[in-house]
């Protein structure tokens, strides 16, 4: 039997994950996992590009990984682990840093957004962040990377670096493809629906966290910002309404047209309450299972240690080839 293709993805454990992380990324990992050999990690090395409380970072790292398992990631197909447990990620990232250009890193929208907010005290790690992400992907000879739309540019840079190094040294890396879902790739902030829902930037009311109670979720959707109109339709001019329809669509699998048709003659309030209920129903079993995985830390640690060992073996093969190709003396 031919070897399965490889799929890789991760989430930053900067806070408890959001509905955007779930619908834009994790839900698709579950959907695609049977066809691939998968590596999913919690990217704690990336998380420290902004200041983290050490205790919360640890808790959020485990919360993310327990969420992957709770969402249905199956250890038959997937290896799950903590990024910092596999030292090859940081090692290859250093090499890739030396093959990235200041110009191309400076063009990354995420860096430009963050640096315009933070100014001169922005950590250097935020600038070189995409080289670490490229390392995460290229180490595993990855073919597919399921992510939300905001990561597309980082994926393009990863491809460019892979092609650049392959041209210089021969075939070191597979050139990966992004998988960006048709629906749910860009869940917007409930309070400012022109911006994406974000763990780090959204306000408490703007983001739905996977750890939110049913009451909190209901409150957030009831207060979601819409517009001064009354008719429920799917258009860019109605960003708030469009977002609620997208959220329903990503969960139920119905098309935007079907959802709009079902709200003929109804009010914005109906759409808000229904969306809240659909999200609550979707998250309830996920939340219960996440707590189950978190309540057995010993078992979680065992899974993560096995995962890190398996990932390291795979990653080391690529790193060795890279070191040899660039002329490092073998150990």
d(CA 128, CA 89): 13
Which of 8/69 has CB closer to ligand TYM?
8
Give the residue, chosen from 66, 147, 183, 304, that forms a contact with ligand TYM under the rule CB under 6 A: 147
Tokens describing residue 52: 């983290």
Q: How many CA atoms within 13 Å lie on the side-chain side of 86?
A: 35
Residue 186 beta carbon to ligand TYM: minimum distance, rounded to whole angstroms: 5
Footprint (CB under 6 A) of ligand TYM, residues 192-231: 196-197
Instruction: Return the SS3 of 190.
Output: coil
Of the candidates 29, 9, 36, the residue with the CA atom closest to the CA atom of residue 72: 29
Footprint (CB under 6 A) of ligand TYM, residues 261-320: none
Residue 84 beta carbon to ligand TYM: minimum distance, rounded to whole angstroms: 12
Residues forming beta bridges with residue 295, ordered by sequence position: none
End-to-end Cα separation, the chain, in angstroms: 34
Of the candidates 204, 198, 199, 232, the residue with the CA atom closest to the CA atom of residue 220: 204
**By CB under 6 A, is residue 42 in contact with ligand TYM?**
no
**By CB under 6 A, is residue 80 in contact with ligand TYM?**
no
Task: Annotate each residue in 92-121 with x if it binds ligand TYM (CB under 6 A) or - if it does not, as one string.
Answer: ------------------------------
Give the residue, chosen from 6, 9, 304, 311, that forms a contact with ligand TYM under the rule CB under 6 A: 9
Of the candidates 299, 233, 225, the residue with the CA atom closest to the CA atom of residue 262: 233
User: How many positions of this chain bind ligand TYM (CB under 6 A)?
Assistant: 24
**By CB under 6 A, is residue 12 in contact with ligand TYM?**
yes
**By CB under 6 A, is residue 46 in contact with ligand TYM?**
yes
Residue 327 beta carbon to ligand TYM: minimum distance, rounded to whole angstroms: 27
Residue 298 beta carbon to ligand TYM: minimum distance, rounded to whole angstroms: 27
Bridge-based pairing state of the strands 78-82 and 177-179? unpaired
Catalytic residue numbers read: 114, 196, 199
Measure the CA dihedral 72/139/108/60, to 10°: 40
Give the residue, chosen from 7, 15, 16, 24, that forms a contact with ligand TYM under the rule CB under 6 A: 24
Instruction: Return the SS3 of 227.
Output: coil
Query: Contact 96/142 with Cβ under 8 angstroms?
Result: no
Interface residue list for ligand TYM (CB under 6 A):
8-12, 20-21, 24-25, 43, 46, 133, 136-137, 145, 147-148, 150-151, 185-187, 196-197
């Amino acid at each position: 039997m031919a070897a399965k293709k490889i799929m890789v993805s991760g989430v930053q454990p900067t806070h408890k994950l959001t509905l955007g992380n779930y619908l834009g990324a994790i839900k698709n990992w579950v959907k695609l996992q049977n066809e691939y050999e998968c590596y999913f990690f919690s990217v704690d090395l990336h998380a420290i590009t902004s200041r983290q409380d050490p205790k919360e970072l640890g808790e959020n790292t485990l919360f993310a990984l327990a969420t992957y398992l709770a969402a249905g990631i199956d250890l038959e197909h997937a290896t799950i682990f903590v990024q910092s447990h596999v030292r090859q990620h940081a090692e290859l990232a250093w090499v890739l840093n030396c093959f990235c250009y200041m110009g191309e890193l400076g063009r990354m929208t995420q860096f430009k957004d963050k640096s315009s907010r933070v100014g001169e005290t922005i950590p250097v790690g935020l600038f070189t962040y995409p080289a670490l992400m490229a390392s995460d992907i290229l180490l595993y000879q990855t073919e597919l990377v399921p992510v939300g739309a905001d990561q597309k540019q980082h994926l393009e840079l990863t491809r460019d670096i892979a092609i650049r190094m392959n041209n210089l040294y021969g075939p070191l890396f597979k050139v990966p493809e992004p998988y960006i879902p048709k629906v749910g790739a860009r869940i917007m902030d409930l309070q400012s629906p022109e911006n994406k829902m974000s763990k780090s930037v959204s306000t408490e009311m703007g983001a739905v966290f996977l750890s939110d109670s049913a009451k909190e979720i209901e409150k957030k959707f009831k207060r979601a910002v819409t517009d001064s109109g009354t008719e429920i339709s799917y258009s860019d001019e109605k960003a708030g309404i469009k977002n609620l329809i997208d959220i329903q669509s990503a969960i139920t699998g119905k098309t935007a047209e079907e959802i709009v048709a079902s709200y003929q003659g109804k009010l914005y309030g109906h759409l808000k309450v229904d969306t809240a209920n659909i999200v609550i129903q979707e998250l309830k079993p996920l939340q219960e299972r996440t707590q189950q995985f978190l309540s057995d830390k010993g078992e979680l640690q065992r899974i993560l240690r096995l995962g890190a060992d398996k990932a390291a073996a795979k990653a080391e093969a690529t790193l060795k080839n890279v070191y040899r190709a660039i002329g490092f003396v073998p150990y």
